[in-house]
Amino acid sequence: MSFVEYGDTIKDGDTAIVFLGHESMFPVKVQHGTVTQTKYGVIRHSTDLIGKKYGSKVTCSKGGWVFILHPTPELWTMNLPHRTQILYSTDISVITMMLELKPGSIVCESGTGSGSLSHALIRTVAPTGHLYTVEFHQQRAEKAKEEFREHGVEHLVTVTNQDVCKNGFGVSDIADAVFLDIPSPWEAIGHAKSALKAEGGRICSFSPCIEQVQRTCLAMEEYGFTEINTLEILLRVYNVRTISLQIPDLGKAAEDNSGTGFDSSNPSNQGILGTNPQPGAVQFKSGVPLKEMVGHTGYLTFATKS
């Protein structure tokens, strides 16, 4: 099993995603002789998982069933153990695009945190690229190394435990892109410039507060970065609902136009009006925004090394 290479069959030692529903799933490390408890009953790894194909429907001991999914960076983001606040797929997708990442790219990241963005970056730059990720906290750095090894991507990432603001990334003039998610990114701009290739490298800084953004932009200007711009991603979700509206009274002109051939009692026209409309009303499908939406997460500041 690898997060960057798909495998058909579940093997001993794999990390798999137990899918109970869109709002209920969790990761499990497959081990011979181990069992996993779910609300639908027990899953026995030796008989229910090992040797089965990813995507299989597995019946639990109480008669309920779950799906076993192959892990992806997106699924891992939704299910990983939180050691820090993490980036989610909405911001990750924009970061990947704006940093112009592709297979073979060299990326520097700080800090590693829970590894949400790291897994997406590794998948993007594989199979010939590399991620250099720096984490200040020793235990988080060691845990990240362990997860990368278990997920079959350790050959694509180098984890370093040090202070990026003081010691940098440990590489010079090779990175195509740098990503910063630290409390004081303006202190690491000089090290980011040193890590980037001679010309055209891209940098991104994620900060929750606009005061951090202001200081970071000033530092970027000081070190000669160009095309500096800041944005935030606000995701608005729409639900499909059946809406009922009263038919407007347009007077005699509307009655004169009633001979156009439309017959609401004709079964073939029921799909237009909807099912069982109220008298004097018409029903139709519409996209309705949620009453509440996810608000501000952070600002993304991008720039180019000139």
Amino acid at 76: W
pLDDT at 1 (0 to 100): 84
Residue 56's closest CA among 28, 6, 19, 24?
A: 19
115 is in an annotated binding site: yes
Q: List Cα–Cα distances, 131 to 56, 60, 109, 192, in angstroms.
A: 33, 39, 7, 14
Is 135 labeled as ligand-binding?
Answer: yes
Reply yes or no on whether the pLDDT at 105 is more than 50.
yes
Report, as an integer, the average pLDDT of 167-173: 96
**Mean of pLDDT values over 104-109:** 98
What's the CA gap between 276 and 256, in Å, rounded? 25
SS3 of 210, please?
A: helix
- 266: confidence class by pLDDT, cuts 50, 70, 90: low
Domains and CATH numbers, the chain: 9-71 (3.10.330.20), 76-234+297-305 (3.40.50.150)
Q: For residue 150, what pLDDT band results from cuts at 50, 70 and 90? A: very high
Q: Residue 124 has what pLDDT? A: 97
Q: Which residue has the tokens 């699924």?
A: 75
Residues 6+ apart with CB under 8 A from 135: 110, 111, 112, 113, 141, 144, 159, 160, 161
Q: Strand ranges (DSSP E) for 1-129? A: 15-21, 24-29, 35-38, 41-44, 57-59, 65-69, 106-110
How confident is the model over 187-223, as pLDDT tens digits? 999 999 999 999 899 999 999 999 999 999 999 999 9
- Is 105 a known ligand-binding residue? no
Contact 127, 103 (CB under 8 A): yes
Q: What is the pLDDT of residue 170?
A: 95
For the chain, percent of residues with pLDDT exceeding 90 = 76
Pick 254 or 102 by higher pLDDT. 102
